[in-house]
Structures are given as structure tokens and as C-alpha cells.
Amino acid sequence: MSNIKILPFTGQNIDELLALCPFNAIEKAGDSVEINAGCRMCRICIKRRPDVFVLAEPPRKVTVNKQDWQGIAVYIEHLNAVIHPVSFELIGKARELAGKTGQPVFCLLIGDSVKNLASQLLEYGVDKVFVYDQPELGHFKIEPYTAVFEDFINLVKPSGVLVGGTSIGRSLAPRVAARFRTGLTADCTILDINSNTDIDQIRPAYGGNIMAHIHTPHHRPQFATVRYKIFNAPEKTQSTGLVEHCQIDPSRLYSAIELLEVRRKEKVRSIEDAEAIIVAGKGIKKEADLQMVYELAEKLDAMTAGTRPLIEQGWFDPRLQIGLSGRTVKPKLIITCGVSGSVQFAAGMQGADNIIAINNDPRAAIFDVAHYAVIGDLYQVVPALLEKIRRGGSLI
């Protein structure tokens, strides 16, 4: 929203006023003009016509009593009585954040016949699990799940809320955040917390060229979504937490969505779950040369993946892309072949236990995150690796 105010005027040439803005942000509105969403706040209109355009007073900041909002909450995603692994990873991060400020960790569990899952969550050091177990919540529908989430926040008043960056989480979190007129940071890669409970939400921006530090100092709760495999799941601990069973009026669970049929999707092997991955980068000159990458992957019982340039050329399925615009992986071994190592790519794989990078440029960014650097032509190195494996040798 523009912070430029238009003063009352008469007898002005409206066309001249419209021409003041190089971004076409001034548009005609009856006998006057208004500022549209294209305003860049360059203030050219104010400088040229201060008799018509002035800088409005900044909006009054809304303040919140942060003492009323305590705890870090984690939304628990599940399917067929199996909790999604990202939920455990978020519990680990929530415990870390809460431990720095002496806050509790809460979990929100929504569904039908899901009460038994609560005991699993308590094993990971959660202070309290809030369970909404009602028949109307048997299948994910955005309206009733949003209503339950809202009810939970009004009841518990958590300072921060962590949601998995899955298809469900990305649908649910923005709607709930909007109901509380608070901020939401998507796809965070780093989370930290200040002594005043403000969460430092860090994510790559502008194509990964900068790391944006985002705060929500004047609103609560603070929402963040995090992808699978970004954080580590915590170790199990002695269960001391509690379970609270909640109910919400069924009238609030109406949905305009009618479920006609549920079709089980055939499970496919995902690079997110692979323990070894061979990654092809733009150093691969032609598609036929991927054969040596496939052979190396076969010898190591690994999956193959690609960087964005190869995905765009159609050489790999988009589900096999690693990076901010693809998948985040954390395998035991990853070998990159001709990958430059952009920030976007590195953010999606730097958590691997062992990273071997092959690149003929000694200054390639991939070497900044690699554990082992092989400086050389991949067309010579990969065949040499294959020969060594055939002879029973070790890669490291």
C-alpha cells in the first residue's frame, strides 16, 4: 500500500498528473486521481507537485503483549496413522528454540482416530500435545482444518508456529496466519530466537543471492514453514509431557469441498529418502553423456539427480531436482559431477554426511561445502572412479 496522500484539488489537468509517474502508478478515479499498487515510493510526484501529493503519516504500529504469547507450536502432519518425518524435525528445532527462552513446546494433532499418535510425539520431549479427534476431520479439507488451527491458537497462544513445507502445510499455514493478521515466512533454512521471543527467520531471497532475516516484532504468533530434511530429528527422550483432548463445535467444520473418492498414489522412490545420490550438473555436455552418471549410480546403489539447468533442458524429471526450487536432501553420500555449486543448489544438499565434488574449476563454489574436492575433468574422473569400483577399491 502506498504511503502517498492526495490532497483535494480542483481545476487541475488530470492527464498532467497521470504523466508524473514513470511507473504508471497514478490513475484516474472520477474527477480525481489515486495511487495504485504499482507505486515504488520514488516520490517524484511529491517533488514535482507538492500541492497535490504529500507523504502521509506512517501508520501507527500495532503492539502486542509478548508475555501473553508463550511457547513454540508444531503442526503435526500425518497420513494413514504415520507421522510425516518433517514433523519430528520441527519438534527438534522447536525444542532448541524453546530451550533458549524457557518456553514450552506444543504439538497440534488434527484428524480422526489419531489419539494413539500422541504418545509417539511425547517420546520426543514435547511438553503438551493438543489433539482434535473428530469424524469430520478424517480427511484434510482446508476450511475445517483452518478453523481447528485457529481454535488451537486462541486456546494456547503460542509465540511461534512451525509448519512443514509440504503441499498441505503450504496450503494451511498462510490461511491461519491471515486470520491472525500476522507474518509468515516460507521455506526457512535457518531459525533462531531472541531473548524477547522474536524468531529470526532466515531464508534465501532474490534467487539465493542474499539471505533474508525476517522478524515479526509487532504481531503474534510468528509463522514459519520449513522443508523436509532441513533440520535433524531429535533423539527420543523420557516422556514427561501431557495430552489434552480438545473439541470444536461441528458447525465450524463445514466444508464446501465434497470428497468423492480417495485413490492411493503409487509410492515411488524419492531422492529425499535416498542414502546415496549422484548429481549431474551443467558440466555434462550432452544428454548421452549422462550414461556414465547412471552407471556410477548403479554401482553405488545410488539415485541420480540433476541441477536446474539440466531439468530445464528436459534431461531429468523435475522431481529429481536438488535445490531451493527443487528438493532438499540429506543423504549419507552425495557426489556432484560438473556442478558449480550455486547458493540455491547448496542450500538443498549441504546437510549430507559426505559430499564429494568433481569440477575442473578450482574456484567453483561447490568446493566451499564439499568434504572432498576432486579438481579435474569429470569426463576423466568419473570413468576412473568406475574403474576403481570395478577393481573393488574405495572412493574415499
CB atoms within 10 A of CB 78: 17
| The Cα angle at residue 278 between residues 273 and 281, in degrees rounded to 5 | 120
Please, how many CA atoms are within 13 Å of residue 244, restricted to the half-sphere of its CB? 13
Cβ atoms 297, 280 nearer than 8 A: no
Range scoring the smallest mean pLDDT among 17-21, 168-172, 234-238, 391-395: 391-395
- What is the three-class DSSP state of 190? strand
Burial class of residue 147, CB neighbours in 10 A (0-12, 13-18, 19+): buried
Each residue's pLDDT tens digit, 283-296: 999 999 999 999 99
What fold, for 66-253?
A: Rossmann fold (3.40.50)
CB atoms within 10 A of CB 247: 10
CB atoms within 10 A of CB 369: 17
Q: Tell me, what's the pLDDT at 37?
A: 86
Does residue 126 have a pLDDT over 80? yes
CB atoms within 10 A of CB 101: 18
**Domain 4-55 - what CATH class?**
alpha beta
Whole-angstrom distance, CA of residue 137 vs CA of residue 111:
5
Percent of the chain predicted with pLDDT > 90: 82
Q: Which residue type, as a one-letter code, is found at position 178?
A: A
Report the candidate in 329, 331, 343, 283 with the shortest Cα–Cα distance to residue 309. Answer: 283
Each residue's pLDDT tens digit, 199-249: 999 988 776 677 889 999 999 999 999 999 999 999 999 888 999 999 999
Each residue's pLDDT tens digit, 19-75: 999 999 999 988 889 999 889 889 999 999 999 999 988 766 667 899 999 999 999
- What is the three-class DSSP state of 76? strand
Helix 167-179 / helix 142-156 crossing angle, nearest 10 deg:
50
* Cell output for 308: 536446474
N residues, the chain:
396
Q: Which residue type, as a one-letter code, is found at position 189?
A: T
Each residue's pLDDT tens digit, 73-105: 999 999 999 999 999 999 999 999 999 999 999
Q: Tell me, what's the pLDDT at 45?
A: 94
Query: Cell 518425518 sits at which residue?
Result: 85
Q: Which residue type, as a one-letter code, is found at position 213?
A: H
Burial class of residue 177, CB neighbours in 10 A (0-12, 13-18, 19+): buried
Q: Tell me, what's the pLDDT at 10?
A: 83
Residue 128, strand partner residues = 106, 242
- What is the three-class DSSP state of 204? strand
* Cell output for 160: 511461534
Whole-angstrom distance, CA of residue 50 vs CA of residue 40:
17
Cβ atoms 172, 149 nearer than 8 A: yes
Whole-angstrom distance, CA of residue 205 vs CA of residue 226:
15
What fold, for 271-390?
A: Rossmann fold (3.40.50)
- Sketch the domain layout of the chain as residue ranges: 4-55, 66-253, 271-390
Residue 265 DSSP symbol: P
Whole-angstrom distance, CA of residue 151 vs CA of residue 179:
11
Q: Do the domains 66-253 and 271-390 sit in the same CATH topology, yes or no?
A: yes
Please, how many CA atoms are within 13 Å of residue 35, restricted to the half-sphere of its CB? 23
Whole-angstrom distance, CA of residue 287 vs CA of residue 153:
51
Average pLDDT taken over every residue of the chain: 93
Whole-angstrom distance, CA of residue 25 vs CA of residue 38:
5
**Helix intervals (H) in 1-105:** 14-18, 44-48, 85-101
